[in-house]
Amino acid sequence: MELGLVGLGRMGGNMRERIRRAGHTVVGYDQDPDKADVHSLRALVDALPAPRVVWVMVPAGAATQSTVDELAELLEPGDVLVDGGNSRWTDDEKHAEELAAKGVGFVDCGVSGGVWGLENGYALMYGGDAEHVARVQPVFDALKPEGELGAVHAGKVGAGHFAKMVHNGIEYAMMQAFAEGWELLDAADSVTDVREVFRSWQAGTVIRSWLLDLAVRALDEDEHLAKLRGYADDSGEGRWTVEAAIDNAVPLPAITAALFARFASRQDDSPQMKMIAALRNQFGGHAVKEEM
């Protein structure tokens, strides 16, 4: 099939290559002219035979909204638009309604795989009407890993991004657990080779995983992670996961704690700990450390 792909960054560029390797035609547009096959959304739409499928891979929020708005004016009844970024599922519902009024179908697709997806395939979670999903299925088949697993029609519009959001929330908690375990091992005098402990866990243990493999890879590159600052950003999906848990009255203590730990990583000096130190001094006369 022929596909229009908007956004050719680290993910989108590799996705274009993997789809082409599967024998499909991809017409790509990016704001960077060195990456683009065409140099406007109008040119991309004009280059595709109707009915068209256009896949958007741009940052969530304003960038996705403006791209969807522009494509809504260019696409025709019978076309399908796919949002493969990390959009909030509530935005999907709005986009689907707006596009349906113009006769354009909408599919949301959560994509996982990062920089390894070109060779290993991308895990895909998509939502939308069956007829619209079927139009995109050849691309899903090209992008997914080999074998039966790695792709799912999760439900109606919004389900794909909701599933990817929960996936990322779980990822937060798993990474936090590995990080805490690494720090404790490193702090213990009796453990003399933390890296090799992590490496030994790659076989036979119940916690062996791709994340563990990546942790060992990182430790091989920098055994004590001395080159890194202890700062971790968040993409927003961890926050959305916690918000959704509140809305559905579902307890998520591990994921919530992992999100808050990232917030703590951005503080050079914790205001909360200043108050705790002050209170310990007030009620117990415990020593405090003053700013120099």
Give the catalytic positions in this structure. Answer: 164, 171
Q: Give every CB contact of residue 128 below 8 A, 6+ residues apart in sequence.
A: 96, 105, 106, 107, 108, 156, 157, 160
Q: Can you say whether residue 156 is alpha, beta or left, with left for phi > 0 and alpha for psi between -120 and 50 degrees?
A: beta
Show Cβ contacts of residue 280 under 8 Å, excluding neighbours closer than 6 positions. Answer: 286, 288
Residues contacting 242, CB < 8 A, separation 6+: 169, 252, 255, 256, 259
Task: At 105, list the tokens.
Answer: 């179908």
Residue 98: Cβ-neighbour burial (10 angstroms; 0-12, 13-18, 19+): middle
Q: Token digits for 192?
A: 């003399």
